[in-house]
Every structure is written in C-alpha cells, then in structure tokens.
Amino acid sequence: MITPQEQINTDSTGWSLGVYSLPTEPIPKQRRVKVSTYTKLYEHIRQGYGTGHGKNYKPWLTLTRKNPSPTSNQVVSYMPPLERTAHYFSRGEYHTALFLLWLGVLDLREQFPIWPIAHPHPLDGASARISTKLKWSRGLLSIAREADIKHGHEVGSKRPYVASIDLVATTPFGDNFALSFFSSKPIHEPTAKVKWRTLERLELERRYAREVCANYFVSSSALIPLRVASQLEWWIDCSTLHFCPELLKLASKFSDFVNSSLTLSISEAVISASTEFSIPIDHGWSLFRHCAWKQLIDIDPSMQILTSFPVRGGGRALRTKIQQQLFRESWL
C-alpha cells in the first residue's frame, strides 16, 4: 500500500513516471537546548566578551548561524566610526546605532553585559584619569532583590543569567564622560500591551542605569524615521574614508566648494568639485557622503535627498537639537 507521501504518478499503461509528492509542511527538526555552564561562562569572559572600549570592545552576545531570530531583522555590520564589526539583534537597534553615531557619541557598545554580581563601573578602563574615581556596581542580583523582582536563571541551569543592555553610548561631559543606555524594544504604540516580564526587565535596567549615573531610554524601531535611517546608512560607509584615507585632506576644500555651489544640483556640484580637484567622480561621491556624515556639508537627513536637486540645509541644527534633547547637560 502506498502512503500519500509516497504516491507515484503513473500513466495509462501503469508505468511509473518517477514523480513523488512531498509533504506540504515539512516537520522542523527539533533543536537541542544547550545548557549553560560555569565553564562556558568563564571561557566567554576569558576571551574578552563584554569588555573593552572603542574598537577593542567585544559584545557579550554575538549573532551566529545558530541563533537567528524568527521575528527580528538582525544586522551584523562593520561600523567605520567604531572601527569594528557590530552585532545588532534588531533593525531598530541598528537604526538607533546609526543615529547615535551620526550625533557624534564617542563610543557605542552593543549587547553590553549587566553582571549579576558586583563589578566595575561600565566606564572603567575608558580613561586612566577617571577609572580610579568610579564606584563599582552592586550587581543586578542585589538590585533585583531590592526591587522584589525575580532575576532569572540560564535555561536548564541554576546559574543566574547575564542580562544585557542593547546599546550603551559614551558622550563627552566636560573633561570626563557620561553614559546613556538605550533599550530597543518592538513597541510601536504608547498604548501597546507589553508582557509583564518585559516590564520587569526594563525596570531592572532603569535601576541599574540610575546606580551607575547613566541616562536611560526605551526606544523602538519607530524612533528613527526610515528616511533618516536610509540616508545615514548611505553615508556611514564613507564616514571615516578608511578605505581611501588620502581623500581626507580634500574634505575641507571639497565641502567649501559644494557649500558655495548651492544653486547647482547635488550631482552637478559633485561633478564640478571632482573636476576642480582632479579626482575621479566615484571619489567625489565618496567625499560627498563623508562630508554629509560629518556635516561639513550642511544637509538634512530628515528631508528627501534627491541628487537632481540642490542641497537642503538644516542637518547641523537638527543634530544640535537632538543632542540637547537626548543628553541635555551630559553633552558638553
């Protein structure tokens, strides 16, 4: 007897045509749940995950082929301002990171660990001048007990899990630094229902931020308009001109030329500037993107940018306004 999955099509003579039907919904292979152990934890720490600053930072959590999200659009990308590859677990995180880097934060660390036990301040190691003055954190276990919130354990283990903040931004604060935490969540409406456990974790993050004297924000993918994100994504590859550093010496003159040619379309201005400085047109566009990112050319990323039209200013004013709104006195 032939089962539906093994059904064979035959012609009128009874000969097999060799065509087999397939199940319409293949049964997915069950994935084994990996138990976290102290040995794995120590090895992860030993390799430097969750530590460092700037280009030496290694995120506590990284994206691999073994941990894709079924719901989030995840991004692994080299970020020139950071001089390293960054791991963003949602498109909202990535867009927020683009925006914060465009604002000019000094450092941006994603998937930053909040250790359950007492540990150094998140700014420890950023500067030898301030490291000795920073207080240690009590650890999230102590904060959770104080808030009467369950801390939680790793799956299949009694070991407390290591929580993480989506984005930790370091900003200038006089001769020192200030911190701002950003928790990116898929919350699109103020009235949207949020799981109780999610609210508890957000509260623990808020209390941790308060303990280390950091600003705390809960953001969503809707925080950064898609138009702004797309413009910044176009510019960021040329933000440092790391692939062609010899062009940096032309940035100031190139931007002055474009800024004095505001009656021309962007395309005409880039072509004219490229001719003026005897560089290939593709180098001219790289310089334009670099100057736009740095705001050497005052151009507003919140407005639709058409290269067949002149530059529309307002980017510098927008950047200053957002810096003051987000960071206030912590941005000096």
Task: Note the pLDDT tens digit of each residue in 65-80.
Answer: 655 555 457 899 999 9
Q: Residue 229: phi, psi to the nearest 5?
A: -60, -40
Instruction: Give yes or no for residue 26 having a pLDDT over 80.
Output: no
Percent of the chain with pLDDT over 90: 64
CB 108 within 8 Å of CB 154: no
Mean per-residue pLDDT for 52-60? 96
Strand, helix or coil for residue 313: coil
Q: What is the reported pLDDT for 190? A: 63
Among residues 131, 82, 106, the alpha carbon closest in space to that of 331 is found at 106
Judge whether 38-219 and 226-330 match in fold.
no
Bridge partners, residue 86, by sequence: 77
Bridge partners, residue 179, by sequence: 170, 214
Least confident of 15-24, 30-39, 107-116: 15-24
Band the pLDDT of 108: cuts 50, 70, 90: very high
Q: What is the reported pLDDT for 9? A: 45
Q: What is the CATH number of domain 226-330?
A: 1.10.10
How far from the centroid of its chain's Cα atoms is residue 171's Cα? 16
Check residue 14 and give left, alpha or beta (phi > 0: left; psi -120 to 50: alpha). Answer: left
Mean per-residue pLDDT for 66-95? 84
How far from the centroid of its chain's Cα atoms is residue 321's Cα? 21
- Burial environment of residue 234 by CB neighbours within 10 A (0 to 12, 13 to 18, 19 or more): middle
Q: What is the reported pLDDT for 219? A: 80
In 172-262, alpha helices (H): 196-211, 226-236, 251-259
Strands 84-88 vs 107-114: parallel, antiparallel or unpaired: unpaired
Tokens read off for 34: 């990996």
Mean pLDDT of the chain: 86
Instruction: Give yes or no for residue 221 having a pLDDT over 70.
Output: no
Write the single-letter amino acid at 96: T
Q: What is the reported pLDDT for 216? A: 94
38-219 has which fold?
Trna Endonuclease; Chain: A, domain 1 (3.40.1350)
Interacting residues of 194 by C-beta distance below 8 A, sequence separation 6+: 185, 187
Domain ranges (residues) in the chain: 38-219, 226-330
Strands 163-173 vs 176-184: parallel, antiparallel or unpaired: antiparallel
CB 182 within 8 Å of CB 100: yes
Among residues 310, 318, 210, 223, the alpha carbon closest in space to that of 269 is found at 310
Cα(262)–Cα(309) distance, integer angstroms = 10
